């Protein structure tokens, strides 16, 4: 499409991942963003699924204002890990300061899309590197769209129409297994977010592309399958998705902003030496069914 080429030139786009992902320079984060530029950015998000905007050096207010251009923002269920002055900002890492305590989880690989335990899960997330470790702590992205496309037709038929139960309680138990020092102080969330069914294969509302929606730490089981068959299928799909040919690993530099489409990719944290290094990331989360992200 001709207008895409013009847009790419205007925003300086460089593909970075094997099948997805692009670095987009010159995207203004603070101050005014013209509707045209925003539309261009969104069409790039649909096309590349993960957009890296390097060196934006934004503060929390800028991040919230920029993120809110895409739609209403979620307030994270781990309220204690949000910024007191900007509750839309969820803090991830091992830093505690100014009345803020970041959410720290040992970086066991755990592929997921954000807030899949909500009945209307998030459309997109924005992640900003405030303090980044000199090594480790990469965020890995997997192209759940390309991974679906490359499944053989037998597997496609097998998973068509299957529904998975996503539950914050399952995630809480997973978190406790990997972080024994974290006790059950978040049990009330399970009441706020009863388990929900999500399709194993989802269809992107803007592109029509199908993708694999598999979050092993959040899914209690797949409807109609027993526990063993559920986990075997989830493991097989994750082994497929996590192949290097579908993965882009983002090495963080301070001031980077990465936006991803939760409806098209999965992501996971990775380990860093939290005894030697600090890491503080700010996440804003665009709530599901945002009109701007559906077109
Ligand atoms: C998140 C997340 C990954 C990371 O905050 O949603 O998955 O690299 N973070 O910390
Ligand atoms: Mn996440």
For 48-100, what is each residue's pLDDT tens digit?
Answer: 999 999 999 999 999 999 999 999 999 999 999 999 999 999 999 999 999 99
**Given this model, what pLDDT does residue 186 score?**
54
Question: What torsion, rounded to 10 degrees, do the Cα atoms 118, 121, 124, 130 define?
Answer: 10
Whether residue 293 contacts residue 124, with contact meaning beta carbons closer than 8 Å, is answered with yes
Ligand 1 neighbour 200 (Cβ under 6 A): no
Specify the residue with its C-alpha closest to ligand 1, atom 3.
269
The residue with greater pLDDT, 31 or 275, is: 275
Q: Looking at the predicted structure, is the pLDDT value of residue 244 above 90? A: yes
**Given this model, what pLDDT does residue 190 score?**
62
CATH number for the domain harbouring residue 115: 3.60.130.10
For 261-291, what is each residue's pLDDT tens digit?
Answer: 999 999 999 999 999 999 999 999 999 999 9
Ligand 1: which of 111, 139, 253 to mutate, most ligand atoms within 8 Å of CB? Answer: 139
**Which of 108, 122, 102 has the alpha carbon at shortest distance from 166?**
122
Instruction: Output the six-digit token pair for 165.
Output: 């139960």
Ligand 1 neighbour 114 (Cβ under 6 A): yes
* Ligand 1 center–CA 206 separation, angstroms: 24
Q: With bands split at pLDDT 50, 70 and 90, how would you rate the model's confidence at 2? A: very low
Question: Using CA atoms, how far apart are residues 141 and 266, in angstroms rounded to an integer?
Answer: 6
For 162-214, what is each residue's pLDDT tens digit?
Answer: 999 999 999 999 988 888 776 555 555 667 899 999 999 999 999 999 999 99
Say which ligand is closest to the CA of 113.
2
Into how many domains does the chain fold?
1
DSSP class of 184: S
Whether residue 105 contacts residue 268, with contact meaning beta carbons closer than 8 Å, is answered with no
Ligand 1 neighbour 113 (Cβ under 6 A): no
Ligand 1 neighbour 269 (Cβ under 6 A): yes
265 burial (CB, 10 Å; 0-12 / 13-18 / 19+) is buried
Ligand 1 neighbour 92 (Cβ under 6 A): yes
pTM value is 0.94
Structural domain boundaries, residue 172: 2-294
Total Cβ atoms within 10 A of residue 121: 23
The residue with greater pLDDT, 98 or 2, is: 98
Ligand 1 neighbour 283 (Cβ under 6 A): yes
Specify the residue with its C-alpha closest to ligand 1, atom 9.
269
Strands 196-199 and 163-166: antiparallel
Question: Using CA atoms, how far apart are residues 127 and 138, in angstroms rounded to an integer?
Answer: 12
Question: Using CA atoms, how far apart are residues 149 and 146, in angstroms rounded to an integer?
Answer: 5
**Given this model, what pLDDT does residue 54 score?**
97
The percentage of residues in the chain with a pLDDT greater than 70, rounded to a whole number, is 94
């Amino acid at each position: 499409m001709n207008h895409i080429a013009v847009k790419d030139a205007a925003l300086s786009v460089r593909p970075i991942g094997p099948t997805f992902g692009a670095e987009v320079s010159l995207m203004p984060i603070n101050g005014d963003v013209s509707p045209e530029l925003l539309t261009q950015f969104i069409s790039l998000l649909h096309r590349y699924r993960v957009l890296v905007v390097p060196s934006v050096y934004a503060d929390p207010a800028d991040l919230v204002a920029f993120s809110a251009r895409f739609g209403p923002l979620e307030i994270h269920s781990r309220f204690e890990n949000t910024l007191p002055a900007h509750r839309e900002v969820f803090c991830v890492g091992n830093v505690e300061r100014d009345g803020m305590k970041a959410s720290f989880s040992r970086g066991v690989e755990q592929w997921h899309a954000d807030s899949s335990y909500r009945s209307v899960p998030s459309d997109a997330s924005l992640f900003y590197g405030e303090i980044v470790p000199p090594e480790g702590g990469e965020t890995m992205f997997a192209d759940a769209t390309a991974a679906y496309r490359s499944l053989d037709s037998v597997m496609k038929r097998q998973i068509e129409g299957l529904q998975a139960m996503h539950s914050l309680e399952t995630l809480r138990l997973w978190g406790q297994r990997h972080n024994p020092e974290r006790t059950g102080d978040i049990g009330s969330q399970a009441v706020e977010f009863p388990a929900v069914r999500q399709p194993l294969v989802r269809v992107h509302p803007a592109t029509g592309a199908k993708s694999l929606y598999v979050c092993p730490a959040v899914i209690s089981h797949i409807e109609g399958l027993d526990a063993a068959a559920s986990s075997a299928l989830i493991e097989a799909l994750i082994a497929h998705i996590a192949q290097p040919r579908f993965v882009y690993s983002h090495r963080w530099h301070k001031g980077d902003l990465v936006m991803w489409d939760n409806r098209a990719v999965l992501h996971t944290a990775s380990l860093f030496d939290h005894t030697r290094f600090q890491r503080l990331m700010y996440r804003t989360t665009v709530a599901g069914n945002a009109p701007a992200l559906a077109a």
